[in-house]
Amino acid sequence: MTSSAPSAQGRPERGPHAAVTAPVRRGYERYARQAGQWLRGYEARGGRVYCGAGCFACCDMPIRVSLAEALITAGALSPAKARAVEAHARAALANARTAPDDEEYVRRHRQEVGFCPLLDRETGACSEYDSRPTRCRDTFSAFPARFCASGTWEAMGRREQDAYRREVARTPGTDGEVHFIAPLEHLSEPVWVAAARAMRAEWGLEVWGDFWVLTTLARDPAFMARVAAGDHRGAWTVAQRRGLAHRELLELG
């Protein structure tokens, strides 16, 4: 069923899953306004944020999304980018199937699965900036990018790690443990809530998981038909047939 719903700019959003994607787009718009306001206040009080165009050391992290967010990214991709996203999803799945624990899963994702295929390696910019998911919108660093890069912590000596902890503890805006800006992560919580509510209301189920796996499945009409019918077993079977099912990278329920 094709439905329409008000989009972020007030224009009706069209498409078979508009009732699910429109609340998320509105959440993105609201988040951009609120985060901008928070950042202006933070910088006026002497705070510094190191994120900016061309900075991408964080683009090799695993990313968890809702299917509502993945639909937005999926709808923006060219066939070539969709193929690159699927290849990345398969690499993430291979890692998930063999990693002995979460720590090793994250380490291997960052160092072996590697950077998101939507990253433009020449400019360091996100090539799908307008349709990037929530996690890519709400990650801000109060320290320079080298502290976000994979392997930096492990390469530090004990004294450098202690100095890092002291510096984080006295930096306003962090949670006192890591150098990312905590209030800007909390501000995005309504986007997650909006996605969950919209999926539950429209499909009677929620779908969460790995960004690249869900973005690939979001482009699969058979998978989306089962989701839209509220058939989580059928959706799982479609994903399984495509080799894209994994309990931690695809959560249906």
Question: Should residue 55 be labelled a site residue for ligand SF4 when binding is judged by CB under 6 A?
Answer: yes
Sign of CA dihedral 124, 209, 248, 234: negative
Q: Which residue type occupies 111?
A: Q
* Pairwise CA distance, residues 175 & 119, whole Å: 28
Q: With CB under 6 A as the contact rule, which of the stretches 26-34, 54-62, 90-98, 182-190 interacts with ligand SF4?
A: 54-62
Count of helices and strands (H, E) across the chain:
12, 7
Q: How far is the CB of 212 from ligand SF4 (least distance, A)?
A: 9
Question: Residue from 145, 156, 196, 228 that binds ligand SF4 (CB under 6 A)?
Answer: 145
Question: Residue from 118, 198, 199, 205 that binds ligand SF4 (CB under 6 A)?
Answer: 118
Question: Should residue 214 be labelled a site residue for ligand SF4 when binding is judged by CB under 6 A?
Answer: no
For ligand SF4, give the closer residue by CB, 5 or 92: 92
Question: Should residue 89 be labelled a site residue for ligand SF4 when binding is judged by CB under 6 A?
Answer: no
Which residues, in sequence order, are bridge partners of residue 100?
none
For ligand SF4, give the closer residue by CB, 135 or 226: 135
Q: How far is the CB of 93 from ligand SF4 (least distance, A)?
A: 17
* Pairwise CA distance, residues 233 & 228, whole Å: 12
* Pairwise CA distance, residues 100 & 116, whole Å: 23
Q: What is the DSSP letter of 189?
A: H
Question: Residue from 17, 108, 109, 132 that binds ligand SF4 (CB under 6 A)?
Answer: 132
Question: Should residue 24 be labelled a site residue for ligand SF4 when binding is judged by CB under 6 A?
Answer: no
Q: What is the C-alpha radius of gyration for the chain, rounded to an integer number of angstroms?
A: 19
* Pairwise CA distance, residues 194 & 200, whole Å: 10
Q: What is the DSSP letter of 252?
A: E
Question: Should residue 51 be labelled a site residue for ligand SF4 when binding is judged by CB under 6 A?
Answer: yes
Q: With CB under 6 A as the contact rule, which of the stretches 36-44, 96-104, 115-123, 230-238 interacts with ligand SF4?
A: 115-123
Contact indicator for 159, 166 with CB cutoff of 8 Å: no
Number of residues that bind ligand SF4 (CB under 6 A): 17
For ligand SF4, give the closer residue by CB, 10 or 52: 52
* Pairwise CA distance, residues 150 & 146, whole Å: 9
Task: Count CA within 13 A, CB hemisphere, residue 183.
Answer: 14
SS3 content of the chain, % helix, strand, coil (to 5): 55, 10, 35
Question: Residue from 148, 181, 224, 239 that binds ligand SF4 (CB under 6 A)?
Answer: 148
Question: Residue from 6, 16, 50, 248 that binds ligand SF4 (CB under 6 A)?
Answer: 50
Question: Residue from 35, 57, 93, 227 that binds ligand SF4 (CB under 6 A)?
Answer: 57
Question: Should residue 174 be labelled a site residue for ligand SF4 when binding is judged by CB under 6 A?
Answer: no
Tell me which residues touch ligand SF4 (CB under 6 A).
50-51, 55, 57-59, 116, 118-119, 126, 128, 132, 136, 139, 141, 145, 148
